[in-house]
Amino acid sequence: MSSEQKTRPPRWVQRLLQYRLPTGLSEEVQGDLDELFDLWVDEFGIQKARWKYIGQVLGFLRPLPERKQSYIPRDVLPPSLLTTPSTITQISMFRNYFKIAFRNLTRNKGYSFINIGGLAIGMAVAMLIGLWIYDEVSFDRYHKNYDRIAQVVQNQTIDGRVQTWLGQAMQLGPAIESSYGNYFKHIVRTSWPGDHILKAGDKTLVKSGIYMEPGGPEMLSLIKIKGSIDGLKDPSSVLLAETVAQAIFGDSDPIGRLIKINNKMDVKVTGVYKDLPVNSTFANITFIAPWDLLISSENLKDKVGWGNSWFQTFVQIADHTDINQVSEKIKYVKRDNIKGEDDLRFNPEIFLHPMSQWHLYSEFENGVSVGGKIRFIWLFGIVGAFVLVLACINFMNLSTARSEKRAKEVGVRKVVGSDRGQLISQFLGESLLVAFLALVIAILLVVLTLPLFNEIADKKISILWVSPWFWLSCISFCLFTGLLAGSYPALYLSSFHPVKVLKGTFRVGRFAAAPRKVLVVVQFTVSVFLIVGTLVVFRQIQFAKDRPLGYDRKGLLTIPMKTQESHDHYNAFQNDLMNTRMVSSMAQSESAITNAWVTNGGFQWRGKDPGLQDEIVTVGVTHQFGKTVDWKIKSGRDFSEAFSTDSSGFILNEAAVKYMGFKQPLGEVVKAFGGQYTVIGVVKDMVTQSIYDPIRPTIFYIDTFKRLSLIDIKISPQANTSQAIDKIKTLFLKHNPATPFDYRFADEEFAAKYKEEERIGKLASVFASLAIFISCLGLFGLASFVAEQRTKEIGIRKVLGATVISLWQLLSREFVWLVLIAFIIATPIAWYFLNSWLQDYQYRTNIPGWIFVATGLGLLLITLLTVSFQAVKAALINPVKSLRNE
């Protein structure tokens, strides 16, 4: 760039000036400005001179564009028109606009409160929803390689239906590396996250951790605090999150210190990394142990094959590669490696699920992504927009309703020379002032309500004070709201004819109130939709909560067995605990009754369809399991230690009997696990997985494979729960002193199944309530205005004998009709969308008609209560005062 170009004013500003001003005049003005620019450069420097130049040019721009006019030479114009308003005059004009706006706000305090308060609430709701959406869409973006990380997922065709599994065989990672390694920067196998015991000296903690291959920390871009994050190459090492290192070792240096995992594996701390943020998929991972340590300690190489999808595999694709193309290349990697094996019948297909879709697009149906939490993003985004629009509607309604009060002001201003553009500028300025005041109050409301919002939403959202995007969003909110809310009043007020206004012959017209009525209908249509939607959401949640479980979860708890001593000392612990009479029964199981997740295939039984690709839930238990969970025997008998043959017996649920096609299941033989098992009993279906899905076929068997991982305990109905927990803890620690006491109530585990929907329902109810409040706030303001506008009419009617009730009916009738129209419009729309939403659940409720009736009656009652205050107040005024006042 030449020195001449460096000292020139910005070209885009010069072009803007040329475009804005009439031809000829722009050359004269630009010449004067260029001379000033040269002086500013000498006095202030080039940068400040450019800013001053930009400021002067922007001073020529009006708030609304006008048509370019032809330029009239100065020698033709009379001397009185040669001068243009100075900057001081313009400043005085805007100062005058501000004073008028402020006086209007203070003179009409009630309307100002409704306007500013309604806008503030609407903007606060929009801000809260915006922060929530930002937290959701920024999930996992903490990781630097966010757009190149993916999880390896597989589709399996089972019983004619495609199932999508996140779990993978241990052998898959090396197979991908061997055949397609040049497409990847990292291929990392991991265990599933889980709670483990960490013991160092006299400190014992239960923390969530994971076993991971050495490339994992680099792939996840963990930030090193101490030591090295490459320590996983040593099978006897461990990486700790900063908070865990602090909890175990305090302020002392943890590097090189020894820790025992699950009381059996000694490892050395080689690195400490910064805790991951809460909006990361790996946020709960507080320590990372080497993958090789898991393999060697469990002797997994000899135990698991391609049919055991027990692990996870994550990858980071190589630079300059496309994730979809790489996904397509590895599609048949598993199928190519299991030729001739039994698992080939499931037609496995491998694909990559990008990290960018883990959180919002986690649901698959028949092998295809069908969304997930993204529907909540759209839901709350629309709700936030609705609430903000409702607040804007209030402002527009009240501003246009009071237009007659300012008609004379507009007429006088037009007579003394104000053109329509100036009037529009003034009224838009007033609207922006209200929006700015509302924004300040909205930010205060967000600060005050954010802790409660976080509690309801189960988030840790904070206001992004230092983020320019936050302030840009706030300013955009303010401008959008101010311009949207003030556009119609500004255009409407500026269109008044001054002659008619000043003569007193101006009338707003019979259809002047029509826009206000339309907007009120829109408000209450949205309110009806939100109310019905909230009721349907809670009804679906309650329907699922009330679903027959098939077992008794009251007083039922589980204790995980994380150490070998928990297995070795179980019998002694059981004997001592049963002698206390505080528990009625206890047993062991492979998985919790509230979350049976282990599945197996390859079963053979009489009459099985040769083409059936079976996959059945299996739960290994001990003999007392049925008594402990209080399942319901439909036919046959329960497991019993009196029968030694029960070690080769099966108990089926009703879904399994139907799935296998048994007419008389008792005595049927099923080949499984390399042996033969006889069906000895059938239990009623139990909800062991999602409360919204159909019951899956399930088989219970006496575990002989040493896969038991939980102790199931049923507290006696006669015992005090807190005392029973204390006693269970005492005896557990007596027999397992090196194992921390950790337990889960079945009630809590069951509640977690509908926690997401319940949280959404609570948020929806809060936003629906605020929408109704904002609508009623606007309705209250309109009713107040209508009552004020009809003061003279009310006085005359009272003089002629009208009663308070008749006057109340007169003032309320109009608003009641508007609400009824809104109800008629909203009902079919709400039914259509909510019925579509319910189709996502296989176990779902219906939408009864009473919900719409109750909503309509409730909204009608709220409307009458809102309007009645102003109606009755106006009806009770002494007619002498009202007529004199008019």
At residue 51, the pLDDT reads 80
Cα angle: 115, vertex 120, 122; to 5 degrees? 100
Q: What type of residue is 820?
A: L
Instruction: Average the pLDDT over each of 139-153, 656-670, 809-823 and give the range with the smallest value.
Output: 809-823
Handedness of CA 310, 315, 321, 322 (dihedral sign): positive
At residue 725, the pLDDT reads 94
Separation CA 739–CA 205 (nearest Å) = 9
Q: How many angstroms separate the Cα of 46 from the Cα of each of 5, 12, 30, 36, 104?
A: 11, 16, 18, 12, 44
Average pLDDT over residues 113-119: 79
Average pLDDT over residues 750-759: 80
Average pLDDT over residues 833-859: 85
Q: What type of residue is 518?
A: V
Separation CA 118–CA 773 (nearest Å) = 9
**The pLDDT of residue 70 is above 50:** no
Instruction: Average the pLDDT over each of 55-59, 99-103, 160-164, 287-291 and give the range with the smallest value.
Output: 99-103
Average pLDDT over residues 473-477: 82
Instruction: Tell me phi and psi for residue 428, to 5 degrees.
Output: -65, -35
For residue 847, the tally of other CB atoms under 10 A from its CB is 18
Separation CA 647–CA 678 (nearest Å) = 10
For residue 527, the tally of other CB atoms under 10 A from its CB is 27
At residue 71, the pLDDT reads 46
Average pLDDT over residues 447-471: 87
Separation CA 397–CA 392 (nearest Å) = 9
At residue 511, the pLDDT reads 47
- pTM, two decimals, is 0.75
**The pLDDT of residue 512 is above 60:** no
Tens of pLDDT, residues 802-817: 777 877 777 778 778 8
Residue 394 near residue 516, CB atoms below 8 Å: no
Instruction: Give the H/E segment covering residue 273.
Output: strand 265-273
**The pLDDT of residue 19 is above 80:** no
At residue 314, the pLDDT reads 97
Residue 767 near residue 530, CB atoms below 8 Å: yes
At residue 211, the pLDDT reads 96
At residue 583, the pLDDT reads 94
In the chain, what are the domain boundaries?
Answer: 3-84, 149-358, 375-543+755-885, 556-752
For 808-846, letters b (16+ CB in 10 Å) and e give bebbbeebeebbbbbbebbbeebbeebeebbeebeebee
SS (H, E, C) 193-206: CEEEEEEECCEEEE
Gyration radius (Cα) of the chain, Å: 37
Helix/strand/coil percent split, the chain, to 5: 55, 15, 30
Mention every residue, 6+ apart, whose C-beta is less than 8 A from residue 235.
290, 292, 293, 296
Average pLDDT over residues 46-67: 69
Single out the residue of 601, 598, 646 nearest to residue 625, CA to CA.
Answer: 646
Per DSSP (E only), the strands in 511-553 are: none
Most confident by average pLDDT, 672-681, 683-692, 838-847: 672-681
* Comparison of pLDDT for 336 and 771, the residue scoring more: 336
Instruction: Average the pLDDT over each of 7-11, 89-93, 561-565 and give the range with the smallest value.
Output: 89-93
Helices 109-137, 374-401: axis angle to 10 degrees equals 160
Tens of pLDDT, residues 407-438: 667 777 767 666 677 777 777 777 788 888 88
Instruction: Average the pLDDT over each of 29-33, 135-139, 368-372, 385-389 and give the range with the smallest value.
Output: 29-33
Three-state DSSP class for 732? Answer: helix
At residue 500, the pLDDT reads 60
Three-state DSSP class for 785? Answer: helix
Single out the residue of 551, 796, 498 nearest to residue 688, CA to CA.
Answer: 551
* Comparison of pLDDT for 479 and 702, the residue scoring more: 702
Average pLDDT over residues 198-206: 89
Torsion of CA 781, 786, 787, 790, to 10 degrees: 160
Residue 346 near residue 158, CB atoms below 8 Å: yes
SS (H, E, C) 36-70: HHHHHHHHHCHHHHHHHHHHHHHCCCCCCCCCCCC
Mean pLDDT of the chain: 83
Tens of pLDDT, residues 574-628: 999 999 999 999 999 999 998 888 888 889 999 998 878 788 999 999 999 999 9
Average pLDDT over residues 653-677: 93
Q: Give one word for 327, left, alpha or beta, with left for phi > 0 and alpha for psi -120 to 50.
A: alpha
Percent of the chain's residues with pLDDT above 90: 36
Three-state DSSP class for 823? Answer: helix
Instruction: Give the H/E segment covering residue 107.
Output: helix 87-107
Single out the residue of 553, 126, 148 nearest to residue 327, CA to CA.
Answer: 148
pLDDT level of residue 88 (50, 70, 90 thresholds): low
Tens of pLDDT, residues 276-333: 999 899 999 999 999 999 998 888 887 788 888 889 999 999 998 999 999 999 999 9
Residue 313 near residue 153, CB atoms below 8 Å: no
pLDDT level of residue 60 (50, 70, 90 thresholds): low
At residue 524, the pLDDT reads 82
**The pLDDT of residue 826 is above 50:** yes
Q: What type of residue is 78?
A: P
Q: Give one word for 667, left, alpha or beta, with left for phi > 0 and alpha for psi -120 to 50.
A: left
At residue 67, the pLDDT reads 42
**The pLDDT of residue 2 is above 60:** no
At residue 66, the pLDDT reads 45
Greatest Cα-to-Cα distance within the chain, rounded to the nearest angstrom? 120
Separation CA 374–CA 356 (nearest Å) = 12
Per DSSP (E only), the strands in 166-217 are: 184-190, 194-200, 203-212
As given in the structure block, the two tokens for residue 848 are 């009864």
**The pLDDT of residue 872 is above 80:** no
pLDDT level of residue 743 (50, 70, 90 thresholds): very high
Helices 407-415, 420-457: axis angle to 10 degrees equals 140
Q: What is the Cα 7 distance to its own chain's centre?
A: 51
Cα angle: 74, vertex 80, 82; to 5 degrees? 30
